[in-house]
Each structure stands twice: as C-alpha cells, then as structure tokens.
Chains A and B, each alone.
Chain A
Amino acid sequence: MIENRPVSTAVSHLVLLAGVAIVLFPIWITIVAASHDVARLLEVPLPLGLGDQFFENLKQVVSTGVEGSTPIGIMLFNSLVMALMIAFGKITISLLSAYAIVYFDFRFRMLFFWMIFLTLMLPVEVRILPTYEVVAQLGMLDTYWGLTIPLIASATATFMFRQTFLSVPDELLEAARIDGAGPMQFFFDILIPVSRTSIAAMFVILFIYGWNQYLWPLLITTDKSMVTIVMSIKGMMEALEETPKWHHIMMTALLAMIPPVLVVIGMQKLFVKGLTETEK
C-alpha cells in the first residue's frame, strides 16, 4: 500500500467481500439445498440457512442412489478413473514429446511439432461426430479407453512442458553429459525433477479438465455402469418435471464438486503458478 488510507482500504475489502459473496452464493445455496428435505425446497420462500437433513440426504444418495441411476460410488469411481487416466496419460505423452521436440534434432521434427500444434486448435466439441465414429469403429464405446484416450492428445500440456524445458539452463544438460548421463538418464535424473512444479500444476489443470468432462462421456457411454458423476446431473435434471428432487440433485452436485475443488485449493500455489506463468 502506497499511502495510508483506511477508508479506501475498507472500501476495497467491502467490494471484495461482496464479490466473494456473489461468487460463492450458488455454492452456498447448493450446500443449503443439500441439507433440507425435498418438501422444504418446494416451499416459498426458500431457505438461506442450513437445514438438518444433510447427513440423511448424504446417506440416501450414497446408499440407495437416486432411483433409476447408477450408484454414486460407481459414478465417483468412474469420474476418478477418467480424471486420473486423462491427467497421467496427458502428462506422460506430453513430457515425452516435448522432450523430443526441445532436446533432439531429428528429421520431421517440425512436421511433428505442427501436427501437435494443430490438435491444440481442435477441441473435441468441434470434431465431435467424426471422432465418435472413429471410437465406435475401434470398438471403444463404453470403455475407459474410449472415454480417455481421445482426450489425452490435446497439445496444451505439450506446449506447457515445451516452455518449461526451454527455460531450463543449457548448462544442466552439458554438465550431465560431462557426468556421463545418456538421454534417458538426463530425462529422468535431471529434467523431470527440475520440472516438477510445472508437472504438478499441469496435474491440477488436467485433473479438473478430466473430471469435468461432459459431452464426450455423454456420447461415448450408454452402459449405466460407465456413467460419471458429472453426467448424472443431466439425467436427474431431465426428471425434474415429474419428481423435483432438488435435495438429491444438489447433494450429488456437491459430491461432484468436492474432489476438483479440493484439488484446486489444496494445490493452489502450484496451480496458480502453472496457470499464469505459461498462460494456458
């Protein structure tokens, strides 16, 4: 703070508090709705404070599930598998290809680079139908592979690791070569440990990306045992007209939100660093 202005500082805090209140209002209401029974949620005015049905609702959603849908446990498991496979898969193949492109001079290097670059431009939403057909032809519908592999090869992580590697001082490689390290030894002994902050940041971004996938799993899965928790919200919302079970919907939404929120907040420092330093 440049000058001491208690009033303007107070105003800043007030604006921030108001902002936080507005931004977190929907999430608060989610928690509120998850803590009341269904009847209370259909009565106007609606509650703004917590009710006493939270654990009851949680028990219902977890044990019996929402009628007609997959048990919550399986959906959470599916989401976790998908998020982890996408995160680890992307990180692995991106580290390898970024390493090749930054540290090796080989024929077609630029061709490969542009091929990867092109994938950066084609979000799955844009090429959804033909990609679906390819996955169907490969017999990968309703499998974890079909859910994850087509999402693994987007170029974002490759670009981030490329940036990271470019900022590693050349002398480290030279010192390692004098110390007798071959390419793969240098990769595992030096480059990966040196890049661990970027890798961790990328993990956060990709975990959330994977966990929050919606359209792709919606198309790829027909088998109920493959449903993810994020997808399940849609089905419950469809049934809203006949049975407005808001307490279950909001409890499920809460459960779907908690893992990515925990990951973001728990790894906030790394995540912010990774996000803002490499710009997407």
Chain B
Amino acid sequence: MLKQVHFKSSALPYMLVAPQIIITLVFFMWPASQAIYQSLLIEDAFGLSSQFVWFDNFKELFEDDRYIKTFGRTLFFSAMVAMLSLSVSLVLAAMADRVIRGTGIYRTLLIWPYAVAPVIAGALWVFLFYPTTGIISTFLTSMGYEWNHQLKGNQAMFLVVIAAAWKQISYNFLFFLAGMQSIPKSLIEAAAIDAAGPLKRFWTIIFPLITPTTFFLLVVNIVYAFFETFGIIHVVTKGGPANATEILVFKVYNDGFVGLDLGGSAAQSVILMILVIGMTIFQFKFIERKVEY
C-alpha cells in the first residue's frame, strides 16, 4: 500500500489529499449521513414537521408487498442482463481470440455500445420496438406476434433487459478477450498436442483459466444492472406498465422525487448503500487477490 521508499511526513500530503477529502466530506459523507438520519424520520410531504421513528421506515418497507416485489424484480433483471450480456460476449470473444486476422477490427466495431449513454441506448431500442412503427415490432406483428411493450409487462421487461445487456457487451467482450489473450500460447499448444479439438480446448483449458475474469465481470454486471440502468428504464418504460420494470434505483427516485416520501426513500437509499458496499467489498477483495497472482 505505502511505498517502501517514501517521503517523510510534512504538511504537503495533507494539502495533496485536501481537495478530494473536502469534496468527499461535502458531497458523500454528509449526504450519506443525511440519508441515514432521514431514514429514521417520518416527515410530512411539505417538510414542515418530522418525527423520529427509529426503524419504522425499514419495517414498513419490508412489510410492503410492492417493495418486496421490486426487490425480486431487480434480482431477476440483473440476472437476465448479466447472463445475456456475458454469454454473447463470451462467444464473441472466444471467436475473436481464435481468428488471426481481424481481431483488432472486430474489437473496434464491438466497442461502440460502450460509448453510448444508457438513455440514448434506451431511445434506440424504443425506436426499434415502437409498437406501431418500430422495425422489429412491426416485423413481429406481421409474423403474428402481438408486440406492445407499453401495455405488456413481460415485453417491457424483455426490452429493458435487451437494451441494458446490449450496452454492456463491449465491456464484457474487452475483458474476456484480454483474459483469453493472456493465457500462454504454449498451454493451448500443449492441449492441441494432447489431441483436444477447438471446442474441447475452450471448455477444458480456456474457460477454466478465465474463471477469475468471469467472476469479476459477473459482479460488475450485477452492479451495473442494479445502479447504472436508470437512464434506460426511465426512457423506455418509466418503470411501467404497472410497475413491471420498476427496479430498486428507480423506486428510490420515484418515491423521493415524485412521491416525496422522504423517509421511505431515504430508507431505500440506506438499503441500497448496504447492498452496494457488500458488492464492492466482494469485488475489491477479488481485485486485491488477483493482483497478488
């Protein structure tokens, strides 16, 4: 952590960390503690009076059927996004790792979605699936499948999963490819001499060796689906129809800014913080461990 060779203490290091620490205190520590404090209060909608209620907000949340459902939906959504995105990018990376020529070109082409903002990605997919005039939706309709994600909850969920997974393919692809390319060539050659065909080599040598990358990406994808898909959902479905695509982050925003239930929203924030802290520690431990290798 600290360099073995380092400078002696003076005022300088304090000055160096000051900007970051000040911003952290003002925009992170203070709001986070506010959230914790508010989560223990019930405030009326106009913010005129408040009452200290201990953990009532939390109790209420976990007794609220809608919140439990949102929780479950978020898990489902994250799992679907992670699985879809990981499997597509794994296949593409495995292929890109196999071909000698063109790896760089494929990478350049597959990197695009990373640069697209979630909300823009959402808009693109809405355009493709817009009930009356979308290219894909009208095609589906002509095939006899009724598409209207504005009315059908499962179709809405499908659409946000696709949009969210699409955006994450680039990131996963880059990591899978980097992981596969860091496997020593001699290992693959040894396997080829041991008469393992390409498919067998992939499942018995390559895939086990990139397990650390896969785990890392799994956590990253789940964190992404949990917290960074707000823009997509906001523009594609607004959490609808009938809350069918409302995930936790969306509900925090909705209850806080739209519903003005400050205590309840704060309690949800606190729960999310605990979740994300858990996931980050998990991920960080993984990174630290990997660095030691």
Contacts and interface: CB of A to CB of B under 8 A. Distances in A.
A/B touching: CB–CB < 8 A: yes
Interface of A: 1-3, 5, 8-9, 12-13, 15-16, 19-20, 23-27, 29-30, 33, 41-42, 44-46, 48, 92-94, 96-97, 99-107, 109, 112-113, 115-123, 125-131, 133-135, 138, 149-150, 152-153, 158, 163, 165-166, 170, 173-174, 183-184, 208, 211-212, 214-215, 219, 230-231, 233-234, 237, 244, 246, 249-250, 253, 256-257, 260-261, 263-265, 268, 272, 275-276, 279-280
Q: Tell me whether chain A's interface is mostly helix, strand or loop, or mixed.
A: helix
Binding site secondary structure of chain B: helix
Nearest to A95: B16
B48 interface: no
30 contacts: A2-B188, A12-B95, A13-B95, A15-B92, A19-B95, A23-B110, A23-B113, A27-B124, A30-B127, A92-B19, A93-B19, A94-B20, A96-B16, A97-B19, A97-B21, A103-B7, A104-B6, A104-B16, A115-B25, A121-B273, A121-B281, A126-B252, A135-B27, A208-B115, A211-B117, A212-B120, A237-B126, A237-B235, A249-B123, A253-B123
Interface in B268-287: 269, 272-273, 276-277, 280-281, 284, 287
Interface residues of B, number: 105
B24 A212 contact: no
B19 A104 contact: no
Interface of B: 1-10, 12-14, 16-17, 19-21, 23-32, 34-35, 38, 88, 91-92, 95-96, 98-100, 102, 106-121, 123-128, 133-135, 138-139, 166, 169-171, 174-175, 178, 188-189, 192, 198, 216, 220, 227-228, 230-231, 234-235, 249, 252-253, 256-257, 262, 265-266, 269, 272-273, 276-277, 280-281, 284, 287, 290-291
Given A23-B113, A125-B228, A268-B111, A97 B192 contact: no
